[in-house]
Structure 1
Amino acid sequence: MKTFTIKVAIRGVSPMVWRRFRIAAHTSLAALHYIIQIAQGWDDEHLYQFHIYGKDYGIAYEGGMGFSDDPYLVTLDDFGFDVGDRFTYEYNFFENWLHDIRIETIHDNSTQKSPFCL
């Protein structure tokens, strides 16, 4: 199974707040959102979006933002990431909590369990 090691860091916070994860390449964006929520101790009370290669992804709510793709069906592997690639995750649009996400390593044929917080 292909896995990614990613680092998620909240932008503009000192000292730096970050988490490192090992996740399967078939992890959906919706699942990644929930993984980040759990690791940060948050309760999924706010809207969110990922910004990847110039496009926004998130869950569309009536009266809220609309997205053309279902985040439960879009996986990390769909993007063809390479080591060093970056994208962002924005949570709580009122507080503008912007997270920088970087692909640190890619492992093919990994037998390690995921998701896993490193």
Structure 2
Amino acid sequence: MRRVFSTVYQFKIELLEIKPSIWRRVQIASTSSFRDLHYAIVDSFGWEDYHLHDFLIRDPYSGEEKLITDMTNELPEGQVVCYDERKEKIRWHFRKPGRTALHEYDFGDDWHHRVVFEEELPREGEGMYPRCIDGRRHCPPEDIGGVGGYAEFLRAMANPRHKEHTSYKEWWGGPFDPEEFDPAKVRFRDPVYPERFIDDYW
């Protein structure tokens, strides 16, 4: 089912602790939930969504720090305030441009994304959303071992004499270009039926 909405929210999402920066710019319906935003993030980066995740954001009214999750996470010890990402709407929290949230994906590798709300824009015709309109650099592979593991992976892939070069290349399935990214190739899942892609309906 197509959602009725007249505006979209534009976000810049940056993967932290890696230089040069790996980032995406996405547009998503203003009626979206944080669950929708999660899928927009993982799909635009190229993550497979194998792992748990959450959002950390400060409530714009109370100033309370809120943990927004899929309600299946094991919460940190002492954590009391937890909100269901399916019920929390992005428009309740991103009230003004410049508002930010932290999105964590994979509690083992600890990938942290800074989510910055850039602006609210009119929807363009009956076009499909979410959209990835810009970005830079390839996403790290799943289960590579976090920031340190990715750095070692890049060193090994770039040096044929590295002791792990052959095994990493076989594991990845060929060469790896850390600069490669084409926003036109991004496909977004349906948050209700994640095994399907939204463009299958269009």
Q: Same fold (TM over 0.5)?
A: yes
User: 1:80 offset after TM fit, Å?
Assistant: 4.6
Indicate the residue corresponding to 2:69 in structure 1.
Answer: 58
Letter in 2 for 1:34: Y
Q: Which residue of 1 aligns with 2:84?
A: 70
Does the residue aligned with 1:81 lie in a helix, a strand or coil? coil
SS of residue in 1 equivalent to 2:82: coil
Instruction: Indicate which of 64, 82, 87 corresponds to 2:96.
Output: 82
> Residue 80 and residue 34 in structure 1: after superposition, are their counterparts in 2 closer, same or farther (change >3 A)?
closer
How far does the alpha carbon of each residue in 1:32-55 deviate from its partner, in whole angstroms, 9 at most, with x for none?
111111112211111111011011
Pick one of 8, 19, 35 that aligns with 2:13.
8
SS of 2:91's equivalent in the other structure is: helix
Give how far 1:60 is off: 2.0
Measure the CA separation in 1 of the matches of 2:83 and 2:57: 12
Residue 75 (structure 1) shift? 1.1
For structure 2, the 5+ residue unaligned runs are: 1-5, 59-64, 134-202
Which residue is equivalent to 1:26? 31
- Following TM superposition, where does structure 1 have runs of at least 4 consecutive aligned residues deviating by more than 3 angstroms? none
Specify which structure has the bigger relative contact order, considering alpha-carbon pairs within 8 angstroms and separated by 6 or more residues.
1
Count of residue correspondences: 115
SS at match of 1:69: strand
* Corresponding residue for residue 111 of structure 1: 123
Determine the C-alpha separation between the residues in 2 that align with 1:78 and 1:104: 15
Aligned-pair identity (%): 26
Q: TM-score of the superposition, structure 1-length normalised?
A: 0.87
SS across alignment from 2:83 = coil
Note the aligned Cα RMSD (angstroms).
1.7
Higher strand proportion: 1
Structure 1 gap ranges (5+): none
